[in-house]
Amino acid sequence: MTLIFDIGKTNKKAFVFDNNYKIIYEESHRIPEIKDEDGFPCDDLETLTEWILATLKKITSSKEFRISAVNFSSFGASFVHINELGQPLLPLYSYLKPLSPEIKNKFFSDYGGEAKISRETASPVLDSLNSGLQLYRLKYEKSIHTKPGYSLHLPQYLSYLVTRKVYSDITSIGCHTMLWNFEKDDYHDWVNKEGLLKRLAPVYPSSQLLDAESKWGQLKSGIGLHDSSSAITPYLATFREPFALISTGTWSISLNPFNHRTLTSKELEQDCLCFFSYRKKPVKASRFFAGNVHEQAEKRIAGQFNKKNNFFNQVRFDTGIVETLEKKFHQDARTEFVPGPVLFDDREMSDFNSYEEAYHQLILDIIHLQVLSTNLVLEGSGARKIFVDGGFSKNEVFMKLLARAYTDYEVYSATVAQASAIGAALVLNSSSLPDGIVQVTRH
């Protein structure tokens, strides 16, 4: 049996998987945010640490389970800075915390400008989401470079709690951090020039196990994975032919593990980035704020037609409505993806005769930008299958219109229960994935 901790910003979860990757135990825990020294919200690292260790002890001590290995999946754009005794030196700063203009201007002026370093590190400029820039900030604000110890991305710190061994992992290092030079396949020169390399632990293979600390008996541990890399792992284990995955939620993120072309400056401006799979293969990604757009616009529609929240779940796809809308209204004519609003934001609700009509137009407008965003990762990869998971995969109007837009592709809605947790379990086990873990429906 394998124990996986899946640590999100909102929910902290623990799962026990049997040898067929069936969930036989799960629990979820919420930990309220606290404030850092500047009053900005951040995760409560002390409480998280206590919950991880208490849950690990409870489950490994239970006669109901025979846990042989543990691993961790978590957001990776946050560092835990520990001293030589393993004690945290600083708060677990939020990746939403903005950088000061002075820090950003100094960094980019010293190292060749935004376009150059973004291209070399396959990272759009994202403030603290570029976790390397968190280190840079802390050098100048907290003198972190002078302190003995290590800066570990959150998944690797969680592993450290069990193993007391310090390692870095390529899935955390390589995901929009501005730390890794994809052209040279090594840390970027700026990391060494700023004296920060000594705070980064040696890189260890994501799929190799470590011995846990002796108090945990014969338990083995992985070193943790960035949640994006973990979530795509069940698909890579299931499908051999090239594919793209659109992972939908607040953000709609298009992922293509078969597109190894170097990102261009223009693609970076269009919100593209690269990260690594656990096998250190680059995964090209683009993103679009589709879920947020949908949530806000659907409220407008519901208000106009006096419908309850989430009424869209009752709307069935109607070809006749789509054909009427395409004749009646001007449709989005943009041919290149630009991050920003959808055309629906400028439409008048009074122009629509019903909730269903307005909702179909909203999805038409979302699909137009979704296709432009997804096309950024499709080109040149040979992928002929597109999988959609998350909220929109259950939305009939979205899926039918996406399939209508991609007539030369096979378009599937896909479901993987707890994909990032299963991915973290999969990397520790070389056995094949049982049938049915990834459930797909073609549209």
pLDDT digits (tens, 9 = 90+) for 180-230: 998 899 999 999 999 999 999 999 999 889 999 999 989 999 999 998 888
From 223, 241, 258, the end of a domain falls on 223
Query: Are 300 and 434 members of one domain?
Result: yes
pLDDT tens profile 115-129: 899 989 988 888 888
Residues 52 and 190 in one domain: yes
Q: Say what the pLDDT of residue 399 is.
A: 96
Res 229: pLDDT: 87
Strand, coil or helix: what is 38? coil
State the pLDDT at residue 255.
92
- Residue 392 CA to residue 251 CA, distance in Å, equals 11
Same domain? 20 vs 121:
yes
- Low-confidence residues of the chain, pLDDT below 50? none
SS3 state of residue 286: strand
Domain end: 198, 223, 248, which one? 223
Q: Work out whether the CA dihedral 116, 120, 121, 122 comes out positive or negative.
A: positive
If asked whether residues 167 and 290 sit together in one domain, one would say: no
By residue range, what is the domain housing residue 77? 2-223
pLDDT digits (tens, 9 = 90+) for 376-419: 999 878 899 999 988 899 999 999 999 999 999 999 999 887 88
Residue 24 is predicted with a pLDDT of: 93
The CATH number of the domain holding residue 185 is 3.30.420.40
Rounded to two decimals, what is the model's pTM? 0.85
Q: Is the dihedral of CA 171, 172, 177, 181 positive or negative?
A: negative
Same-domain pairing of 139 and 233:
no
**What would you measure as the largest C-alpha separation in the chain, in angstroms?**
70
From 207, 223, 239, give the residue that closes a domain: 223
CA distance 209 to 417: 24
- In 143-260, which ranges are continuous DSSP H helix? 154-163, 170-173, 189-193, 227-238
